[in-house]
Amino acid sequence: MLHTGGTLGMTGGRPSALRPSPFARTLRERVPELAELADVRLEVFSNLDSSEIQPEAWLQLARVLARRLPEFDGAVVTHGTDTLAYTASALSFLLPGLDRPVVLTGSQRPLKEVRTDARLNLIDAVTSALRGPPEVTVCFDSKLYRGNRTLKAAVADYDAFESPNFPLLGTLGVRANFAKGLPPRPLKLVDRLDPRVFLLKVYPGLDPALPMALLGRMRGLVVEAYGAGNVPVDEAGGRSLRPVFHEARRRGVAVVMVSQAPRNAVDLSLYEGGSAALSEGAIGGGDMTSVAAVTKLMHVLGVHRSLAAIRRAMERAVAGERSSETPSSASDAGEDAGIDSRTHPGGPNRTPRRARRPLPDRTPRSS
Ligand code: ASP
C-alpha cells in the first residue's frame, strides 16, 4: 500500500481546514482487520492534499510501483479524490504492462471519523488488489472502475466516481465479483511525460485570441468541445476557432477533441465545426474522458515527436481508455478481453459522411 495523502488520512475539520496527518498509526488503529485479508506493507509516498499532485509525482509513483510490484500480489494506492482520476489515468499509460492489480482508493470522510467511508474503501481496495483484474483500477463505494475511464462526479456523496463510457470491473457487495479486465501483460514501465498540454473548454463567448495567445506555450491541446465534437466556426460571428486549429497545426501543436457531454463518443465528421477541426488536423478523442485525454497526451508527447506518430498513438486504445468502435479510432479489437463489448456505448464504426450544415433560415422576415 502506497499512501499519497488525501482526506482519507487527514485530521481536523470545520472550523479549521482538513490537513494531512501521520497515516501509519491511524491505519493500524482504525482498520486492524486489513491484516486478516492480506500481509499489507505500507509505504508513505507522500502526504498531500491531492490538489498538489503533479506529473512529476506520477512518474515517481509509477517507478516505485514498477520496482516493488513483483514482490506483491497487488498494490493499493491511497489518494485524495480530487485528482484521483488523473493519477489513475496517468498510471495506466506509464505502466502499459501489468500482470497484477494496481488499485487506487480514497474517501470522502477521514478514516478517523465515525461515519467514514474510508474503512470499507480500504478493505474493498485490498480485496480488489488480491482478486481484481491486472490493470489500474479505482475502487470506491463498493464499485471497481477502470481507472482511466473515471471522473470524480460528486463532492459530498460517498458514491463519488463515475465511469460514463465503460461498465464496472467489479462490485463488492455481499459477494465480491470481478470482470477479467485487460489481459495480463509483462510488467512494463514507460516513464515519460511532457506536461505541456492545455485543456480548453469551449463555451459561448470564448475569445479565440485567448487560446491563440497560449499556443506558443504548449505541445498539445485538448479541446472539450460541444456534443459530437462541435465548435464555433462561423467567421461572421467573430469567434471562430478555425484560426486556432490552423495556427496549432502550423506550430506543430497536437490537438485532440473530446466532448463536454460525458457519455458516448465524438464524431468530428458530423457537424461543420468538428469537420473544420478535422480538416485542420485535429485528432478525434473517441469516448475518452478529458482526464484520460490530457494524461494520455502528456504521455504520448513524452514518447513521440512527429504529429503522425502522436495521432496514431492517440487514436489507439493502449490501456482500455477508449472504445474500439468509436469513429476515427484505429481498430484495437481484443484490447478489452473479458468485458462484453456489446455493453459499451459508443456505437458501431460509422463511415465518414458529409457534415451536417445548419438549416437555411426560413423565419419569415418583416420588411
Ligand atoms: N481535497 C482532498 C484531496 O483530494 C479531497 C479528498 O481526498 O476527498 O486530497
CATH at residue 56 = 3.40.50.1170
Asked if the structure places residue 84 within a domain, the reply is yes
With beta carbons less than 8 A apart as the criterion, state whether 318 and 96 touch.
yes
109 and 213: one domain?
no
Mutate to test the pocket of ligand 1, among 78, 81, 122, 158 (most ligand atoms within 8 A of CB): 81
Q: Going by CA atoms, what residue is nearest to atom 8 of ligand 1?
A: 81
291 and 220: one domain?
yes
The HSE-up count of residue 312 (CA atoms within 13 Å, CB side) is 6
Q: In which band, very low, low, confident or very high, does the pLDDT at 307 lie, cut at 50, 70 and 90?
A: very high
Lowest mean pLDDT among 3-7, 131-135, 204-208: 3-7
With beta carbons less than 8 A apart as the criterion, state whether 155 and 7 touch.
no
With beta carbons less than 8 A apart as the criterion, state whether 292 and 149 touch.
yes
Asked if the structure places residue 342 within a domain, the reply is no
Q: Which ligand 1 atom is the nearest neighbour of the CA of 7?
A: 7
Q: Going by CA atoms, what residue is nearest to atom 7 of ligand 1?
A: 80
Distance 300 CA to ligand 1 centre (A): 28
H or E segment and range at residue 105: strand 102-105
Whether 337 shows a pLDDT value over 60: the answer reads no
pLDDT of residue 17: 76
With beta carbons less than 8 A apart as the criterion, state whether 20 and 9 touch.
yes
Residues lining ligand 1, Cβ inside 6 A: 5-7, 49-51, 80-82, 106, 108
Distance 81 CA to ligand 1 centre (A): 5
Distance 206 CA to ligand 1 centre (A): 30
Mutate to test the pocket of ligand 1, among 11, 47, 82, 84 (most ligand atoms within 8 A of CB): 82
8 and 133: one domain?
yes
Please indicate whether residue 289 is annotated as part of the active site.
no
Q: Hey, which residues does 137 pair with through a beta bridge? A: 103, 146
For residues 177-197, average pLDDT: 98
How far apart CA 38 and CA 165 sit, in angstroms, is: 32
Q: Supply the range of the domain harboring residue 282.
A: 197-315
Strand 254-259, strand 220-225: pairing: parallel
Cis, peptide link before residue 345, omega less than 30° from 0:
no
With 0-12 / 13-18 / 19 or more C-beta atoms within 10 angstroms meaning exposed / middle / buried, residue 221 is buried
Domains in the chain, number: 2
Asked if the structure places residue 265 within a domain, the reply is yes
How far apart CA 128 and CA 246 sit, in angstroms, is: 46
pLDDT of residue 65: 98
Alpha-carbon torsion, ordered 153, 154, 157, 163, to 10 deg: 0
Q: Which of 111, 145, 178 is the last residue of a domain?
A: 178
Distance 20 CA to ligand 1 centre (A): 10
Asked if the structure places residue 33 within a domain, the reply is yes
Of 218 and 13, more confident: 218
Q: Which of 273, 289, 315 is the last residue of a domain?
A: 315
Q: Which ligand 1 atom is the nearest neighbour of the CA of 49?
A: 9
Proportion of the chain above pLDDT 70, given as a percent: 86
What is the domain-level CATH number for residue 207? 3.40.50.40
H or E segment and range at residue 28: helix 24-30
9 and 131: one domain?
yes
Cell numbers given for 188: 512494463
15 and 140: one domain?
yes
Strands of the 197-201 sheet, one edge to the other:
197-201, 220-225, 254-259, 283-284
Distance 72 CA to ligand 1 centre (A): 27
pLDDT of residue 117: 97
How far apart CA 34 and CA 282 sit, in angstroms, is: 48
Asked if the structure places residue 329 within a domain, the reply is no
Task: Specify the pTM.
Answer: 0.89
With beta carbons less than 8 A apart as the criterion, state whether 344 and 337 touch.
no
How far apart CA 305 and CA 254 sit, in angstroms, is: 10
207 and 133: one domain?
no
153 and 207: one domain?
no
For residues 40-52, average pLDDT: 94
Q: Hey, which residues does 261 pair with through a beta bridge? A: none
Distance separating the N- and C-terminal Cα atoms of the chain: 74
Q: In which band, very low, low, confident or very high, does the pLDDT at 25 lie, cut at 50, 70 and 90?
A: confident
Distance 49 CA to ligand 1 centre (A): 6
Query: Which position has the grid cell 459530437?
Result: 228
Q: In which band, very low, low, confident or very high, does the pLDDT at 351 lie, cut at 50, 70 and 90?
A: very low
Closest CA to 92 of 317, 255, 258, 310: 317
For residues 87-114, average pLDDT: 97
Contacts of 99 (CB under 8 A, 6+ apart): 134, 184, 185, 186, 187
Asked if the structure places residue 281 within a domain, the reply is yes
145 and 283: one domain?
no
For residues 220-237, average pLDDT: 97
161 and 285: one domain?
no
242 and 273: one domain?
yes
245 and 156: one domain?
no
- Could you say which DSSP state residue 32 is in? T
Asked if the structure places residue 145 within a domain, the reply is yes
Cell numbers given for 15: 472550523
Asked if the structure places residue 364 within a domain, the reply is no
Mutate to test the pocket of ligand 1, among 8, 21, 46, 51 (most ligand atoms within 8 A of CB): 51
For residues 61-76, average pLDDT: 98
Q: In which band, very low, low, confident or very high, does the pLDDT at 353 lie, cut at 50, 70 and 90?
A: low
174 and 123: one domain?
yes
Catalytic residue among 4, 7, 116, 326: 7
